[in-house]
Structures are given as structure tokens and as C-alpha cells.
Structure 1
Amino acid sequence: MSSSLHAAVTATLVLLVWCIEGALIQGRDIDQPLQDSYDYIVVGCGISGLVVTNRLSEDASRTVLCIEAGDADHYEPIIQDPVYVGADVGGIYDWRLSTTPQNQLDGAARPMPQGKALGGGSILNAMCWNRGGADDYDAWESLGNPGWGWEGMLPYFRKSETYTPVPSEDIAREYSINYTPEAHGSDGPVQVSYPGYFYPQSVNLFAAMNNLGLPTQFDPNDGTSAGPALVPTDLDPNNQTRSDARRTYFDPYVTRDNFHVITGQHVTRILVEGVGNNSQVSNPMSGGDQNGEGGSDSSNQGFGFGPGGSTPPIASDTPDKVRRQDPGSTSRRIQGVEFAANASSPRQTVYATREVIVAAGALHSAQLLQLSGMGPSSLLSQYNIPLAVDLPGVGNNLQDHCLVGTFYPYNNASFPSPTELTTNATYNMLAEQEYDTEKTGPWTAGSPNALAFNPLSLITNNAFIIIANASRQAPTDFLLPGTDPTLVAGFTQQKDSLVSRMGRDNVAAYEIINNNAGSLTVSVLHPLSRGTCHINSADPFQPPSIDPRWLTNPVDRQVLVEALFFNREILAQPSMQELQVAQFVPPIDADEDAINQVINNGIRTEFHPSGTLAMLPLEHGGVVDSHLVVYGTQNLRVVDASIFPMIPAAHLQAVVYGVAEKVRDCNCDLSTKSED
């Protein structure tokens, strides 16, 4: 197929899909106003938001509204085709956030990409599908969260997926891929499978690590996640396209009458009864909103839009377990939310008779609670935000997998490289044709899937020195000065848990991300560093101040140094020498000072911010309880990566799907009322 003909066909297909999408949307009149109230309002239509909205709307008697700041994608190839993984970061479906200057590194700010679209980060991410080790979730449970251990989570990991094994026994044997059937789902919404092509140098990499004493893990999702593994991806095996949250939890259910979604609308605050001007919320169509701006906003891109109404009562059947989550104090009733298309648009209101569920991601969920009067009182007072609930933990405990890139180009031309897709037009054209016609070849293999989750004890003789250094630290040594005592108490427990597991052979300390072109990027998986995400304005359209504080705890830096030294040992193995490796960054003779400079200049996010609204006891800096109810409220929950008390050693999308699936069926069953 000529390039011009292919372009024409592609354009036609995109237009056709766009029209089909429009037809689906038209199944419910897009001019239909929003209801004055819904049983449930979900803030954020990313992974967790769409999962929760979908599951709640399975009960036809319950109405659910999901509000998304971004737009719906149009099934563009850059979203769907795996060859384009990473190409849409920084584009129209990205919030394009940045960190504060990282003075402990090189003083520069870093990009912090986050999905801004129907489907959230699932349309931007690298598609990797792994859960981490059972140990990570058992640690969650040990921190005061009954039911959140591995055995409690596994049914929901399974529920989210349809797992398709590698179809060829020869490929499975060559690339050491196996699976544990009882660890996988067979009828979940997300398609989880393997690409139609494998780069052969993955075998060389695994052989090198095996030779150094790191056994291959045959199924990285069965709870024994430590060592090199060929990780599956959220890839539809039928057409080799991305299986994201929008296509799996929304598109097939768009005609449900009780499943409402609006896009292009930014939730500006949660309405808390009796706080500020929330006691009486005006109808924006009958005289103006709280800011004196009247009228409705016609810019909505969703499935129904209109004015709010008078505040309805909270349903009498709000579960008793919600009401009793904060005994001995007056819990706030959440009325609904306020939202607008942009800073100059009128503010609109919509009300929840049962619950508001925040699912805006670890950064924006923390920001929204703070803007709504829930957070550290000292922070809120700086911006004259009326205090609803004094919660020191909101926006603290930020964790991320920080990574540092490397480059060791492979010069053996007999091994195909992904870089040829950009440097060799003929090779790329043939690969594209193979993808279009056969759904095989290099275009199916854009996601980095030959990874390693390595224990510290198996890669360095310095492991126990590092563990001893961590053990000697006082909890406050590397936290911010003036950290609230409840947060110190919570971090003390986290630190004890992390240090006690640091020397185990079955607990990963860091990850190797192999791109099959010479990059063996390394990242810290169980960081001791803790950051913050705080408002720096009362304006909801201003981004929050994001300070991940990567490597402020020196133990995290020591792990990265050892990981980069271990890369040298990997490259020196005979199987890797076959690739004719030319080490470039860091140089082969780099000493520890030089490696630290590479780290300082190269640290970036792995796109896994979490922990800012931690599921912990209130006295340990927690923001939500084990039912994910925000302390001090009757009917506000959070369901996204912000609730993780400690970040697991995994790419987070599979974890978030599991958490969101669990919410309906855990003790806080959102769709089951206690009485009528």
C-alpha cells in the first residue's frame, strides 16, 4: 500500500470510527439536561472513575454521573496502536503538569504527565500490566486496612481482566512465559495479552540476569514478583490495539440510561454542607451561581448537560457503616459538586443524594479536597479557604517511582531494533503493512515488556549496609521540618515495614525497564522519600504545587547507584556481549560521583504518583479509612492511586483497576443500601 493510499484509508477509518462514536453518543440525547441530582457523582473519568461508574450503574435503579475535565479521544492511531506508546505524552490528552524545582538533584523542575481524557492515564501509559508482589498488599493490610492484603485483592485483579496466554508454546518456552491460571481472570473488561512480535534481545538480557543469579519469574502477576519477566500488556489480542478504560468500561455501556458522563468540565470544589457558602447553593439558571455568574455553559462535550437545582436531601439509606466511620465527632455531609469548563465559564452545580466519589488521580484528588476545605488547616488558611475537616494527611505522603535513563546502544545489526522504525523508512513501511494486514510484527511491540523487578540482596554485596543505614534513620530525619505528628507516626510504621522487607529475595527494590534498543532504565520501587502535592492558590484552574522530593532519603539514591553498577555486570555477560554493546550513559569507567551526577541530571517520573490521600488510621496521617471514606465526612469517598498507603512494586494501572473493582464489593458496598 502506498503511503498516500494508506493515509487516505487511515483518514477514512478514523472518520468512520468518529461517526460510529457519535452515533453511540446520540443513543442518549446530548442536549438532555443533567438531572438536578444523582445518587452518585464521580469526579474524574479515568481508570478508577469509569470502573466505579460502570459498576454502580449496573443497578438500573441508581443514577450515576461521572465528570471529566478532559475530552473523549477520537480513536486516533496515536492512542490505539502500540507502536505509538509514549508519543501522546505532552499532547492534548495530558495535563502537562510540572514539579517544583528539585534542589536535591540539579535544581530543575521536571514534567509530570497525567492523563486528561475519558479513560485518563490508560490512554497515555506504556500499557504494562503487572500487580507487584503479594508482600506489597499484605503490608497495606498490616498498616490497619483489613481486607486489603493479597488474598483480599486477588479476586478484583482477576475481575478486571480477560487474560490471553501466549498462543505459541515455542514463544512461551523461548521467552520464559508461563502463567498461573488461578491468578488470572477470563471474562473481565480489560484485554490482557502479549504482542504479535518479540524482540530476540530480550532472551539475551534474561540469560545475563539468570547467569548472575536472578531467576526469571514466569508469571509476574501471581504474587511472586521478583526477577526478570516478560510482562503482559493491556492489548486486545484480536486486533492488537490498546485496551484502555474508555474502550472497556465505557464504550460498551454508553446506552445505559443511568450512566451519565460529561467531558470538558473541571470540578472546582466539593460542596460541603454548612461550610462557607455551601449551606444554600443557588441554581445557576435562576439568578447566578456562588460567584455571581449566571447562565449555563454550552461548551460541555458529554451526554447531557444542564443546570443544577435546589439541594436535595441525602438519601435516608446512606449505609450505616459510612455514618459511623468517625465516631465521636460530627461528620460533614457532602451535597454535591461545583464545576465549570474553564476559569471564565459560569460555575454549575449538581447534587448527590448518596455519595460523591473522587477519582481524579493522586495529584488532582488531593488538590480538590484542599480547595473544598479538607486538608491541613495551616495550608487552607493561607488561601482563606473555609475549613471543613482538618486533615493533615491531605496532599502529603506523595510517593512515586523515580527513574534514571541509560543508553548502551547495541551494534549487532542481526538483532532488529525498535529504533529502526524511525531511522529506516523501508523497514517501518514493511512493519506497518504487516501490522495493518496481519496484526503481527514490530508495530505490535511498542510497549516495553521485557522488565526486571530485582531484589537488592541479589544484585550487590552492599545490600546489608544499605539496610543498616535505613534502620539507623530516625523517622523524622528526611521528612520535611514541621511534619505533623500524625504523619510522622504513619511514616514510622511505613519505614519499619519497608526496612523489614528490604533484604528479602522475593521483594523487588528496583526495576529495569528494557526498550530492546540499548536502554536499561532503572527506577526505585519501594522509596523511602516522601513528597507533597499542595494548592498554591485558591483558584481551581491553577495547577497544584507538586514536590515529589525524589531521593531526599539517601537510601533511595543508594539503591539507584547499586542498580547502575549492576547494569555493568549485566552488560559484561556473554549473552549481552553478543549484542556488541557500546556503553555510553553512564560511561563504563564512571565512579560513584559520576554516577550520582548522571542520577541528578537524569531523574524523571515513571508516571506513578500515589499516596496523597492515604488509606491509614487517622492517627497515622490517614485521609480515608479502609472503606475509602474520607475521615470527618458521611458520604465522600476516594478511589484512585492517592489512597495507596505505600506504593507497590508495579506499574500502577492494574493495581488501580483492582482497587476500583474492590470498592463495590468490599465492606463499603456502594450499590447496596442498608434499608429503604
Structure 2
Amino acid sequence: MANRLSEDTHLSVLIIERGGSVLQNPLVYNTSAYGVAFGSAIDYAYQSAPQRYMGNKVETLRAGKALGGTTTINGMSYTRAEDIQIDAWQWIGNQGWTWESLVPYYKKGEGFQVPTPAQYSAGANYNALYHGKSGPLHVGWTWDMQNSTMHTELKRTYKHLGIPYLPDVNGGKMHGYSIFARTVNRAEKVREDAARAYYYPFASRPNLSVMLNTTVNRILWANQTGTFGPAVASGVEVTLSDGTVEAITANKEVILSAGSLISPAILERSGVGNPEVLAQHSIPLVINLTTVGENLQDQINTEFIYSSNVSYTGQGTYLGHPTASDIFGSNTTNVANDVKNNLANYAAKVSAASNGTMSAANLLSLFKIQYDIIFENPTPIAEVLVTPKGTNFYTEYWGLLPFARGNVHIASTDPLQQPTINPNYMMLGWDMQQQIGSGKFIRKLFNTAPMSEHTTGESTPGYTTLPSDATNAQWASWINSAFRANFHLVGTAAMMLRDMGGVVDTNLMVYGNANVRAVDASALPFQVCGHLMSTLYAVAERAADIIKAENYGGLSVQDGQGYV
């Protein structure tokens, strides 16, 4: 977004980043090094609170500490949302936020790389209508794709399970089997993180600056909400790497893009949030906004490992998106009725967990929308990611649309102390139900020809740990012990109507103030089926146009297609 705003030479844009530059760091640019940076100096490695519904397990939540954020350490997966999930943003009061209105912004940032003949023969495929060609973000397939053998066998196996082949997952309909694209620069053979795409090629702009190794302490206010109208930010207070504290003036706006865990923490340290939370830390109240930090949503990830009679080299991104009917089959109606009958109980339980800051009535309205997305539309409820490596098939899967909601709140006024993070993993029946059902689907996948012909055994969890006739209780016990967080955290400064529990409005402006916005995953009101990155790029692209249109005489939001 800083890139887009600095296109206006009359503006001065400053990026404040707690981490450093990782442009030359092989843990970042090496596309086959996913996971190697975890636990390193460029991973915040936040720790969750003990998870009550998962045996008090403490989860590590990965997040990138670098210019470029988590795009420097993530899996580079470029998969968009299901169209109805973006349309749902408008259903909860965000006028103009629809799939159709967001597609131009997905395309605006994208510099799509058409597959080479070798990549195409290995399974890379696309629909040209879905992609942008001139954006700064390189999207495509790695130069070292695996050959077509695995693609062909998985494609046939999914077909035998009644799941179609989907040539391109990025058209708004995600049900099926695909080989998805990633954020890579094929020519340079490197990861394309946000900084490499949007900052470094434009770093010479005189009106675009960056402060590295600098921590934002809090927002500074020129006036607070009251007689003089909405609160107005005058800038931010920061701590430099040497410990010096400075105030930086913002003549126009302050835009938070610190993610679902830290953007709400900055708001709370700045006096914006639940008065009860702020009072615990003697922070003067500037804006009474009780739902700051609430509505936290994440998925849980579990892995199967199968041994193979073939050894695989190269990189493969083999993706399955089954729906509820694919997973539950003839029992889908019973599952749907069970969830529907429990929606009010789910809403009451989440409301109680938030100490009433999220009302049960509002939650029930949101949960009914989520129910319809899951059961009234062919929306995927799980992601199945098969990675052949050596003589193993590493198969991660996660339920995409949990109903659980948690929260994140500051633990002190010290910006270097991580907040208290409680995602409430598996607090509701559906959340475990979709994970168990998805696990059973994995076994069915690998026991269906032709994949079964390439599989010589299941090493994790294995049939000794989890027998073929395991009860749901046994499945739940294994999942509790084996799961990890999926690092897809959203919702803690949700874009919703204020009386529904929203923190930002349709222009991503924090309620009760005139010039502070949150533009990151915290603003997403719901989980989406795709990996968050592509949707966050699109939201940021649209936010830049919103800001230009409001304040600087730039393009109207409807002119987004002019950038494609």
C-alpha cells in the first residue's frame, strides 16, 4: 500500500518496520526452504495461551519479523477466496465489498507468469481471464516442478472420489483438485515477498521512506473523541534499535498493517479498545471500542505421512478442496442439521468467552451466514495439500471454516512483550467434526486407485495409533496431540458495522477516529478458503484506491480495472 500511495509525488510515505531487510537472506529467497526460517531471528514465534479445548497445549504462531512481513517466511501459496465468502462481507454491512469488486484488485497487483511448456506438461494450468499481467507481484510455478506423474495420478484419484479437476483455483470457485501457483520470480529463481515486489524496485522514490528495526509503541492523538468530534491522530511514538524513543508526525493518516495479533495491540496501547482491558494497564481511554482484539479466528493443521514406492524430486503443489458432501457423503444432511441446531449454542459460548463483548445475537447472525456458505453452497471446507518428497507423501490438511472465535489483548504496555493470544482452537463441535471428517477423507484418498498403487504404508499417524475402525473420540485424541496452528489469523479489527462488533468501517477506518486505518488480516471478518496472502494483497490495493479517492483526488474505487 505504501507503494501505491507513493505513486502520488505530492505525498510522503513512511514505512515503519520492526524487523530488518532480508533481501539477501537465503532463508527467505530460497523457494525450497519453507519452514527453515521458523524459529530463526526473522520469526516472531508468538506463543498462544494454553488451549483449553486442546489439552492446554501451547501453540507457536509463526509470523515474519522482516520488511515484507510474513510473506518472507510463508508457503508462497497464491490461492484466492471462494467468491461467496467475499460477497458475504457486503451482507454484513460492507457496501461495495463483493467478489466482483475485488477481482480487479487481485489482478492489479499480479504479474502472472504463463507456464512454460515443461510446466504445462507437468500440470500447471490457468485461465487467462483470472489473472493480471502487469502488476509488481510475480505469480507462477517454480522452475523445478515435479514431472507429470504425480499430477496425473492425483487427478485420476480425485476423479474416482467424485471431485473434479479444477485447472485454475483462482476464479472464485475452489471446489476440486488443482496445482496452484505461488509467489515466485521464475526467472530469478527466488521467492517474491511483499518487499521484493512492492518496495525494493521503487526504493529510489524520494517520497517513499522506510525505518527498519523500529518498534511502534503507540499512536499519538491531537485530540480525543468528544467535543471536537472524532479522535485525530497526530503521529506515532516509536522506539529505535538503540532504545531511543521518538515521536513521528503524520500529517495525513496512520495506517496499521501489523497483522491480526499486533494491530489490535497497537490500538489498545493507544487507548482504543475495551475500557476494562485498558484499565488493567492504566491506559487512558481515547475510543471506547470493546471488540478490538476479539473475533480472532485461525485454522488447525494436521499431517499424515505415507511412504511411497517411488522417489520424488522437485517441488509439487498438489491441492484438493473437498466440500462437506465430499467429506461426509450420505451423512451430510445429518451433520448439517446438527450444526444448524447448535448455532445458537455456539454463539452463546463464544459470547461468554468474550465476556459479552461480542453479543450472542450478532454472533448468531454471523454464524448463520457461515452455515449457509458451508452447507447451502459447494464451498470447500478443507484443504488437502500433498507434497511428495523423497519416498514420502507429506499430506497436511486443515478445516477451512471453524466457528471458534478467540481474542488477543495486550499483556502490558511494553510493545516488546507479546500480547496474550487465545484462538480457542476447537472450542465448538463443528471444528473438531470437520477436522475428523477431513482426516478420514485423507485415508480414503490414499486408499483409492491409482494413489493406492503408489502407497506402501501410513507412517503418521499409522494404524497402530489410529486404527481403521477408530472412534471419533480416538480421532479427536490424536488430533489434539498432533495438530499445529495454521497461522491464518484473521478478524481482530473486523470490517463490520460497529453495532455488530466491527472495529473498522467499509473504508477500513477505525471507528471513532478520523485518520487511523487498519489494512491487514485483522480487518477480514471471516476466514476464507484460500491462503490469506492473495486476498490481503487485493484488500491493500483497494485500500490504496480508497485513500486516494477520499483524500488525494486519485482514481475512484470503481476504476480499479484501469490498473490490470
Distance 1:671 1:173 in 2: 49
> How much has 1:202 moved relative to structure 2?
3.5
Contact 2:293 2:493 in 1 (8 A): yes
Q: 2:558 — aligned with what?
A: none
Q: 1:569 — aligned with what?
A: 444
Q: 2:516 — aligned with what?
A: 636
Distance 1:182 1:327 in 2: 50
Say if 2:482 is the partner of 1:602: yes
Contact 1:663 1:669 in 2 (8 A): no
Query: Which residue among 417, 422, 445 is the counterpart of 2:312?
Result: 417
Distance 2:425 2:228 in 1: 37
Contact 1:373 1:388 in 2 (8 A): yes
- Superposed CA deviations along residues 419-471 of structure 1, whole A, max 9, x for unmatched, are xxxxxxxxxxxxxxxxxxxxxxx2xx2xx621112111122233222221221
Normalising by structure 1, report the TM-score. 0.77
Distance 2:354 2:444 in 1: 42
Contact 2:446 2:455 in 1 (8 A): no
* Superposition pairs of residues 272-287 of structure 1, within 5 angstroms: 272-274=221-223
Say if 2:496 is the partner of 1:549: no
Q: 1:582 — aligned with what?
A: 457
Say if 2:175 is the partner of 1:226: yes
Q: 1:381 — aligned with what?
A: 279
> How much has 1:274 moved relative to structure 2?
4.0
Query: Which residue among 504, 511, 527 is the counterpart of 2:383?
Result: 511
Contact 1:56 1:671 in 2 (8 A): no
Question: Following TM superposition, where does structure 1 have runs of at least 4 consecutive aligned residues deviating by more than 6 angstroms?
Answer: 326-329
> How much has 1:613 moved relative to structure 2?
0.2
Query: Which residue among 438, 459, 466 is the counterpart of 2:335?
Result: 466
Contact 1:510 1:524 in 2 (8 A): yes
Q: 2:301 — aligned with what?
A: 403
Normalising by structure 2, report the TM-score. 0.92
Contact 2:264 2:293 in 1 (8 A): yes
SS in 2 for 1:405: strand
Q: 1:192 — aligned with what?
A: 139
Say if 2:429 is the partner of 1:524: no
Q: 1:288 — aligned with what?
A: none
Contact 2:76 2:184 in 1 (8 A): yes
Distance 2:288 2:380 in 1: 36
SS in 1 for 2:253: strand
Query: Which residue among 72, 78, 98 is the counterpart of 1:149?
Result: 98
Q: 1:308 — aligned with what?
A: none
Contact 1:399 1:647 in 2 (8 A): yes
Identity across matched positions, percent: 29
Distance 1:564 1:508 in 2: 15
Say if 2:440 is the partner of 1:492: no
Query: Which residue among 93, 113, 128 is the counterpart of 1:181?
Result: 128
Contact 1:63 1:259 in 2 (8 A): yes
Q: 1:666 — aligned with what?
A: 546
Distance 1:409 1:222 in 2: 34
- Superposed CA deviations along residues 314-372 of structure 1, whole A, max 9, x for unmatched, are xxxxxxxxxxxx99993101110000036x82311001111100011110101110111
- Superposed CA deviations along residues 116-162 of structure 1, whole A, max 9, x for unmatched, are 10111111011110102111101111111112110010000000111
- Residues 561 and 545 from structure 1, CA distance in 2 versus in 1: closer, same or farther, beyond 3 angstroms? same
Q: 1:392 — aligned with what?
A: 290
Counterpart residue type for residue 311 of structure 2? P
- Residues 328 and 346 from structure 1, CA distance in 2 versus in 1: closer, same or farther, beyond 3 angstroms? closer
* Superposition pairs of residues 72-87 of structure 1, within 5 angstroms: 72-87=21-36
Unaligned runs of 5+ in 2: 555-564
Distance 2:226 2:184 in 1: 46
* Superposition pairs of residues 98-247 of structure 1, within 5 angstroms: 98-168=47-117, 171-172=119-120, 175=123, 177-196=124-143, 197-198=145-146, 200-247=149-196
Counterpart residue type for residue 88 of structure 1? A
* Superposition pairs of residues 300-449 of structure 1, within 5 angstroms: 330-341=229-240, 345-410=243-308, 412=309, 415-417=310-312, 442=314, 445=315, 449=317
Distance 1:670 1:68 in 2: 26
Query: Which residue among 203, 214, 219 is the counterpart of 1:254?
Result: 203
> How much has 1:103 moved relative to structure 2?
2.2
> How much has 1:84 moved relative to structure 2?
0.9
- Superposed CA deviations along residues 142-200 of structure 1, whole A, max 9, x for unmatched, are 111112110010000000111122221x753662x432222110100011111222253
Counterpart residue type for residue 403 of structure 1? N
Distance 2:486 2:418 in 1: 20
Contact 2:64 2:71 in 1 (8 A): yes
- Residues 487 and 264 from structure 1, CA distance in 2 versus in 1: closer, same or farther, beyond 3 angstroms? farther
- Superposed CA deviations along residues 533-553 of structure 1, whole A, max 9, x for unmatched, are 111112221100111111111
> How much has 1:254 moved relative to structure 2?
0.9
SS in 1 for 2:349: coil
SS in 2 for 1:406: strand
Contact 1:365 1:642 in 2 (8 A): yes
Contact 1:664 1:671 in 2 (8 A): no
- Superposed CA deviations along residues 89-137 of structure 1, whole A, max 9, x for unmatched, are 2211111211111121121201101011011111101111010211110
* Superposition pairs of residues 531-546 of structure 1, within 5 angstroms: 531-546=406-421
- Superposed CA deviations along residues 208-244 of structure 1, whole A, max 9, x for unmatched, are 1111001111110011111221010011121221111
SS in 2 for 1:117: coil
Contact 1:59 1:671 in 2 (8 A): no
* Superposition pairs of residues 11-30 of structure 1, within 5 angstroms: none
Contact 1:163 1:184 in 2 (8 A): yes
> How much has 1:667 moved relative to structure 2?
7.3
- Superposed CA deviations along residues 516-539 of structure 1, whole A, max 9, x for unmatched, are 132221101111010111111122
Counterpart residue type for residue 182 of structure 1? L
> How much has 1:416 moved relative to structure 2?
2.7
Structure with bigger strand share is 2
- Superposed CA deviations along residues 30-77 of structure 1, whole A, max 9, x for unmatched, are xxxxxxxxxxxxxxxxxxxxxx11111111111111100001114122
Counterpart residue type for residue 338 of structure 1? E
SS in 2 for 1:350: strand
Counterpart residue type for residue 195 of structure 2? R
SS in 1 for 2:279: helix
> How much has 1:580 moved relative to structure 2?
2.7
Counterpart residue type for residue 157 of structure 2? A
Counterpart residue type for residue 234 of structure 2? Q
Counterpart residue type for residue 401 of structure 1? Q
Distance 2:66 2:357 in 1: 38
Unaligned runs of 5+ in 1: 1-51, 276-325, 419-441
> How much has 1:484 moved relative to structure 2?
3.0
